[in-house]
A and B are shown apart, each in its own frame.
Chain A
Amino acid sequence: MPQIKLGRRELIAGAIGAGSIQALTPAIPSQAQSPPTAAAATNLPAGYVFLKPNEAAFVEALVDHMVPEDELTPSGTDIGLATFIDRALAGSWGKGDRLYNQGPWKLGTPNQGYQLPLTPSELYRTGIAASNAYCRKIYNGSFDDIAAAQKEAFLKDLSVNKIKLDGGIPGNAFFDVVYQTVIEGMFADPIYGGNKNKVCWKMIGFPGVMANNAENIKKYNDGRIFTADPISIADMS
């Protein structure tokens, strides 16, 4: 299978059409002209800015259960998913950016979408506490303490809305935000703290921010696979 490796200079050149060439040609540090390596991946400092200790334990157990270490990737915590979630909840999205948050409040129909008076970070915080309370009641331990089979059963029940959490939050509303952030952490650009070393992009063969396919499309439109070391925002910055 053909391997295509491109340096940043080629990528940037290929990304430019007829317009705005000058604006698109940034200064390129000389050390960046060789193909990027895993060392270029973003490594956010350790530690949490939003999650409290019991919340961090929940999130770490959750991402390690959903994304276990295997031949495809290291564990969820090792690829930065807990860090990604922590920063997402601490940031503007977690605090309700672009969320219409005026009442009156009604749960509505499933077709009417999200209707809780909670920002994503509030939903996460409340959902973790209620999930742990549920797990203690049913499985005699907080989520991070129970066996893998119990975690699996809890998450499945949560995902299909079989569980009504303490306080009345629909289980699937909490599951939806949890699942969304796990997926985002895996597949978003590593600059946000997850997808460490672009491991999830490598897992599926997504080439990242690389851009110059105007020639490639002529060659790789017959069922042949196109592979390339994925390029991230940090690699090009």
Chain B
Amino acid sequence: MVTKLPSVDILIVGMGWTGGILAKELSVTGLTIAVLERGGPHSTQNDFNVPQIRDELRFSQRSDLLMDTAKDTLTIRNKPSEDALPMRRLGSFLPGEGVGGAGVHWNGHTWRWPDADLQVRTMYEQRYGKNYIPPDMPLQDWGVTYKELEPYYDKFEYTAAISGKAGNLKGQIQQGGNPFEAPREREYPVPPLIDSYAMKLFSKAATDLGYHPFPRPTANSSRPYTNPDGSKIGQCQYCGFCERFGCESNAKGSPHITVIPIALSKPNIELRTYSWVQKILLDSTRTKTTGVTYVNVLTGEEFEQPAELVILCAYGLWNTHLMLLSGIGKPYDPETQTGTVGKNYCYQGGAGVSLFFEGRNFNPFMTTGGLSSVIDDFHANWNFDRGPYGYIGGSTVSAGSSSGRPITYRPVPPGTPQWGTEWKKATAKWYQGALQIGTSSSVMPHRYNYLDLDPTYRNRFGQPLMRMTFDFKANDAKMNRHGAELCGQIGKAMSPTIMSTPAPRLTWSVVPYQTTHNTGGTIMGTDPANSVVNKYLQSWDVSNLFVMGASVFAHNSSYNPTGPVGALAYRAADTIREMYLKNPGPLM
């Protein structure tokens, strides 16, 4: 039996970064807002306390803060001809669960995606011609420009205490920052972190080669900071327990210490944890949602929560899953290339190399989530001519560890045995003397990389799992091979005692951790025929439904996604408050 609850004005699904931003920004309207979060609460005091939080086995190996794949997961395969099988445990990517979402356990890397991403099709066609874009690549502009997003990037950076150095202030190139970044109106809110030894060596080698290294912008605050909302952020302690962990010092810009408590301080907002939304309900016209159904996961009871406006703020993949489960829009079909929901799923590629330096010490445990030096010469740098390489997109190259935690970080040179005294000797010898150079590379959409509902496997509520069909394609392989060359070139310039063979990612496996940057599925765009939401993140089909998160990205960049996730959420909140609520209906 489903218990029908009294209606609310606004219903938000998920309480991570985007749910927190929307809840806080819409709380000033005085409307009644309910937020349904499928996981439990998180507090710094009880959940991230020292010494318990510094437990690599519990939080990194056993995924204590992450989603529980026994309850819900995906099925996965590389191509449509394979049988999709369940992702039975976490590996390749690590969605969060509970209040704060993945914003609790992230590393903090925060970028502003430029027009070369937001207007990707237009810019590549203009520069390289229409034929440069492969026919199986549904490359699309997003419908927004960098100029439109700039104030919202700024707002997110100042909320989340991003440490960094401007490289382009109002068009003036700044020493020490990223000279290829899009122009920003003002400096980062917090100065960069202290360089590690690995960063210094990498920066020198990259500079000598003519590249332009800079400190990675990241939500690990280099000093105590109070954000414009009055939220207190602590100073990063370089403890080395960042990604997969919550921060005991409140030094990582996270929603549970910023936007969420501010939202929850308002009387018109109610947060319901352990509330797992199952379906978005539609009226008979199928152009309006009437609310959602959800399960109290502690009791199994089912509820209907009517609402005037529904905003999806779950992890991107689960936004797409909810759309598919609810039958909103037309599911994407790769054969006919019609339908939009599930289209343009993208991941991220890369390459890497390990360097070993006799007699040097990198103190790899003395670090934080974003402590690295980066070059953007082969990504945001539009003067970099992709033509000779034949790909679309680009790679950032970086060095500097985010963790020296020894269950996962034990670099040994190629050819070392896997166990025994020789292995122990090598492990002991090189723990201090190794560093890694890696790339992060764009993934452009491909006709056969997509999301849909699995025909066989179900979650613990009996609903079909979502099926992910993905592999790196020719464009990605070209880029990742080039990335491997760059890693090797800079690595060699650093004169290591030993260097591994630079390795590009050429096929996607669910097993090793790579990155939690899953994008697409409910993409934004300019045309209802090839996108799910408009430039305001409003559903083309259901005008009182908005979708946040990286599921709206029309492709994936080399950059980490949280910058535009935050910026687009702030912009959507403004749109809803200033435009939509004054005259509910399609904004375009």
Q: Tell me the A residues contacting B by CB distance below 8 Å.
A: 12, 14-20, 23-24, 65-68, 70, 72-73, 93, 96-102, 104, 106, 108-115, 152, 155, 159, 179, 182-184, 187-189, 191-192, 200-201, 203-214, 216-218, 220-226, 231-233, 235-237
Contact = CB atoms under 8 A, between A and B. Distances in A.
A106 B76 CA distance: 13
B136 interface: no
B431 A206 contact: yes
Nearest to A26: B49
Interface of B: 44-45, 49-52, 54-57, 61-63, 68-70, 73, 76-78, 82-83, 85-91, 193-197, 199-200, 221, 224-225, 232-241, 247-251, 257, 360-363, 365-366, 404-407, 410, 418-421, 424-425, 427-428, 431-432, 456-458, 507-511
B406 A187 contact: yes
A214 B237 contact: yes
A220 B363 contact: yes
Contacts of B257: 19
A95 to B, nearest CB: 11
Contacts of A224: 361
A72 B85 CA distance: 43
Contacts of A70: 421, 424
A207 B410 contact: no
Given A19-B250, A221-B196, A233 B52 contact: yes
B510 A111 contact: yes
A200 B57 CA distance: 15
10 contacts: A16-B249, A18-B224, A97-B62, A100-B70, A104-B456, A106-B83, A111-B509, A209-B50, A214-B238, A233-B51
Contact of A101 (B88, B236, B237): B88
A102 B457 contact: yes
A97 B70 CA distance: 7
A187 B492 CA distance: 31
B407 A15 contact: no
A155 B419 contact: yes
B51 A209 contact: yes
Contacts of B196: 217, 221
A98 B89 contact: yes
B507 A111 contact: yes
Contacts of A15: 50, 237, 239, 248-249
A112 B79 CA distance: 11
A226 to B, nearest CB: 5
- Secondary structure of the B side of the interface? loop
Contacts of B91: 113
A20 B456 CA distance: 47
B509 A110 contact: yes
Given A211-B241, A221-B195, 7 more contacts: A17-B234, A18-B249, A19-B249, A20-B44, A100-B87, A204-B428, A226-B361
Contacts of B511: 110-111, 113-114
A223 to B, nearest CB: 5
A86 B361 CA distance: 36
Contacts of A212: 237, 239
A97 to B, nearest CB: 7
Q: Kindly name the residue among B77, B237, B407, B511 whose own CB sees the greatest number of chain A CB atoms within 10 A.
A: B237
Contacts of B432: 204-205, 225
Contacts of B238: 213-214, 216-217
Contacts of A188: 55-57, 61, 407
B427 A204 contact: yes
B50 A211 contact: yes
Contacts of B194: 217-218, 221
A51 B407 CA distance: 23
Contacts of A225: 361, 363, 432
A141 B79 CA distance: 45
Nearest to B224: A18
B357 to A, nearest CB: 9
Given A111-B509, A159-B418, A18 B407 contact: no
Contacts of A222: 197, 200
A15 B49 CA distance: 10
Contacts of A23: 44-45, 49
Nearest to A19: B250
A191 B221 CA distance: 31
Contacts of B405: 206
A18 to B, nearest CB: 4
A18 B87 contact: no
B78 A204 contact: no
Contacts of B361: 220, 223-226
Contacts of A65: 419-420
A205 B419 contact: no
A221 to B, nearest CB: 5
A206 B406 contact: yes
A18 B44 CA distance: 12
A98 B63 contact: yes
Contacts of B508: 111
A113 B88 contact: yes
A216 B364 CA distance: 12
B51 to A, nearest CB: 4
